[in-house]
Amino acid sequence: MGFVVMSMTDAAAGRVKAIVEKSGPDAKGIRVGIKKGGCAGMEYTVDLVTEPNPKDDLIEHAGAKVWIEPSAVLYLLGTQMDFETTQMRSGFIFTNPNQTSACGCGESVELKPADLAALAKQRATESPSA
């Protein structure tokens, strides 16, 4: 059994579904990735998906579909995607255990690849004995 790359809250799923509904009949979901940029070194990317890439990982929650770029998987393992609206902004929020720092404005982050050995050990201690 593999690792779940990323989870999604009900708020994030609702926003994904709203984006898809407003984007026309070809829209299927969104694609999350990572790119180099910003003052902290990396930024999350969110793009509309009209034609899914078969190499992407797919997560689904409450009818919302999110594809994850293969190059981002190691940086996103264990991440929770949420959506919030405040007086200052609205947008997706990524709670990522692989984040080591962020810039002051919150637009870019520093990420390290997930420690697969630590994740496997954690899963082994959380799984009930047969």
Query: Residue 61: its pLDDT value, please?
Result: 97
Query: Residue 130: its pLDDT value, please?
Result: 45
Instruction: Return the bridge partners of 115, or none.
Output: none
Between 105 and 91, residue with greater pLDDT:
91
Question: Which residues fall within 8 angstroms of residue 54, CB to CB, at 6 or more apart?
Answer: none
If residue 121 lies in a helix (H) or strand (E), which one and from where to where? Answer: helix 116-126
**pTM score:** 0.80
- Residue 8 contacts residue 81 (beta carbons within 8 Å): yes
β-strand pairing of 57-61 with 64-68? antiparallel
Q: What is the DSSP letter of 96?
A: -
Report how far residue 14's alpha carbon sits from residue 8's, in angstroms, rounded to the nearest whole number: 10
21-60 tens-digit pLDDT? 999 999 999 999 999 877 767 888 999 999 999 999 999 9
68-88 tens-digit pLDDT? 999 999 989 999 999 999 888
Residue with tokens 């004995």: 129
Residue with tokens 């770029």: 69
Report how far residue 125's alpha carbon sits from residue 117's, in angstroms, rounded to the nearest whole number: 13
Query: Residue 1: its pLDDT value, please?
Result: 44
- Residue 66 contacts residue 58 (beta carbons within 8 Å): yes
